[in-house]
Structure 1
């Protein structure tokens, strides 16, 4: 494929064309599905045709479900609660308390991307990352890793608007707390025969049961077409790769990583970091997630239960790039997570970039069936491309 110099508008149009193909032609791309695999093949072919070096796939085992393992943990806890109520023996309450504690641990570990017992029952499935490389024009002194996830999410009711998403985030934490409290109450009820302990313990079953049903509902909804989340991030990454092939950075090698299974627990990024963290420890990690609607922002903090913050040096660099590019870059916390959270866990220098409407009455189509290419705003794609280029240029010129 012959590469010509493109204007800024042509690059923006090219990014949008990638979104149309990913979210329109390929369509929904659930983790570990054929849609995700087709999207990964498209990305690999595009990067190869652009002329990038060392284009290859990295196979890994990822979670096929975003909610199933949480639902399993809650279901096992509810079963132990029912048995304790039926048997009414001291040992049955102690056993229920232990199981509640194990379920709380599973919920925490799953939200923190760590192995836990639910993985034995809901097994991982094959998925792929696509990795490629653009060398520096001169002798490399620095390194950048640009990432975006290719999979799309399901469409549960609690993602239908911002209010529901906030309630879900709060409810997730409260259910975890209910499991922890329930564990203590059940164990106490096994040693101290007080009716009030048992009453409160069994009352906790109602919100836990509701949450389990919500998780089951979520795992049986259709997958989103995923134009905004996250064909937009993938498209911007491919377009940046095209520009770098034409104009490589002087002193910086750039790696591109299009990951799978982000929506079900950042599985692709976890596999990438586990493999490359030592080699890329001095790199700047730039993650693009939901960069197609509204005004750009960086995620200052993210995580479902345990929170991980942006490093101060990364924040300074992000702010400096905003000044250079003339873009009004907002700063906000995330109630969920992006792939960058895995880099934060490892102490790597990472910036996670997203976009959303400034107007409070406007919603994004995140995790909805309405997340189609027509919802994408070309101006946001243009902002993303300009900002990331400024960020790369600043990093390239930094003193060692």
Structure 2
């Protein structure tokens, strides 16, 4: 029998990375490759002695464009139909408000109202459970998504620092346009002017840029998010040999995270895990650069979200043993957005580069060759320390 922590060493974790990135390749939502990744996870879990394994199938859309393109098309239509008649202006106001609402949702990992119409693919979550040695006093859910994305130049742009102000401006402008058009509908005289031309140009530009993103290739997804899957497999092997005392650990290998966190949402909706004494920990892009526990997330000012304060305090305690790990705000949109929105306690562990951004986020260079084995191992060891802190904090009898 191997030592428990040997599964968290760089060479072992890189074996999983090799299998996912080169053996399987790009794993876009609802694809055969995403399904093969789910099968690989099940094979490894069984081989290390994990017995409680389940697969949850669900329907989903297959690309972010299926959600974004209708929203941006509505925005463009709203700016082009604000003609002189009252009916057209009211129609433009309604379309603008609807597009603003749905754009905000898309950039906050909320499903659109038309999601059932675009859910044309089948995906899956792989769910595994390792029971504690004694009575269950806490439940922890570790999350790593199986799918990878297309290369995208909007999320994030070449200058990531522009993402939040531009996205916030876009949502705000659409809401403002709804008010402007509604006011014009009841004004005696209202003419199209500079505001209409500017908003039309911005809306059409965003639509064209999104269409260009949809023409991009799918990326290998080494850091995003084969790195998290590898770390979770290492932790599963460790805990199968040495379970925690009072904490049940559940591993959620989710599908379709890159198209709006669909997998984690379906898990929470179907299984409704208890909120009391339950913690969710999402691993995001932990195979390169430095490691942090994220203190604030969001890609718009309207869609910011934060981790649970108690779990954040436990992460700070765990970081005492890992001086290279610290808390920081991140420009990110991840599965924690869904977890927080649905009323659960969670935290995200993420990697960041020298400039403070997620490394290789939605870029073609997100390949196995860019992975740092030491970063993987650091994330796995910190995750294990955090689990121990959570277990020690379990309420007394």
TM-score normalised to the size of structure 2?
A: 0.92
RMSD: 2.2
Of the candidates 281, 300, 303, which is equivalent to residue 295 of structure 2?
300
Q: Distance in 1 between matches of 2:109 and 2:358?
A: 28
How many residue pairs align between the two structures? Answer: 393
Quick one: structure 1 residues 243 and 361, their matched pair in 2 at CA, closer, same or farther if it must change by over 3 Å? closer
Q: Which residue of 1 aligns with 2:364?
A: 369
Which consecutive residues of structure 1, in runs of 5 or more, have no partner in the other structure?
none
Q: Quick check: 1:143 aligned with 2:173?
A: no
Of the candidates 318, 321, 324, which is equivalent to residue 318 of structure 2?
321
1:66-77 to 2 correspondence within 5 Å?
Answer: 66-77=64-75
Question: Deviation at 1:10?
Answer: 6.8
User: Is the partner of 1:287 in helix, strand or coil?
Assistant: strand
User: Is the partner of 1:157 in helix, strand or coil?
Assistant: coil
The answer to whether the 8 Å contact 2:228/2:285 transfers is yes
1:197-216 to 2 correspondence within 5 Å?
Answer: 198-216=193-211
Q: Distance in 1 between matches of 2:104 and 2:358?
A: 29
Question: Deviation at 1:242?
Answer: 0.4
Q: Which residue of 1 aligns with 2:379?
A: 384
User: Is the partner of 1:317 in helix, strand or coil?
Assistant: helix
Quick one: structure 1 residues 232 and 164, their matched pair in 2 at CA, closer, same or farther if it must change by over 3 Å? same
Q: Which residue of 1 aligns with 2:333?
A: 337
The answer to whether the 8 Å contact 2:67/2:112 transfers is no
Question: Deviation at 1:165?
Answer: 2.6
The answer to whether the 8 Å contact 2:133/2:244 transfers is yes
Question: Deviation at 1:278?
Answer: 3.7
Quick one: structure 1 residues 362 and 94, their matched pair in 2 at CA, closer, same or farther if it must change by over 3 Å? closer
Quick one: structure 1 residues 122 and 139, their matched pair in 2 at CA, closer, same or farther if it must change by over 3 Å? closer
The answer to whether the 8 Å contact 1:189/1:197 transfers is no
Q: Distance in 2 between matches of 1:329 and 1:380?
A: 11
The answer to whether the 8 Å contact 2:351/2:358 transfers is no
Select between 115-124 and 381-390 the one with higher mean Cα deviation. Answer: 115-124
Question: Deviation at 1:363?
Answer: 7.8
Q: Which residue of 2 aligns with 1:46?
A: 44
Q: Distance in 2 between matches of 1:188 and 1:296?
A: 49
Question: Deviation at 1:245?
Answer: 1.0
Q: Quick check: 1:81 aligned with 2:76?
A: no
Of the candidates 184, 207, 212, which is equivalent to residue 189 of structure 1?
184
Q: Which residue of 2 aligns with 1:309?
A: 306
Of the candidates 229, 233, 241, which is equivalent to residue 246 of structure 1?
241
Q: Distance in 2 between matches of 1:238 and 1:33?
A: 21
Q: Distance in 2 between matches of 1:141 and 1:121?
A: 41
Q: Deviation string for 1:160-179 (max 9, x for gaps)? A: 77x53332332222111121
Q: Which residue of 1 aligns with 2:168?
A: 173
Question: Deviation at 1:60?
Answer: 1.5
The answer to whether the 8 Å contact 1:73/1:118 transfers is no
Q: Distance in 1 between matches of 2:266 and 2:139?
A: 19
Q: Quick check: 1:154 aligned with 2:147?
A: no
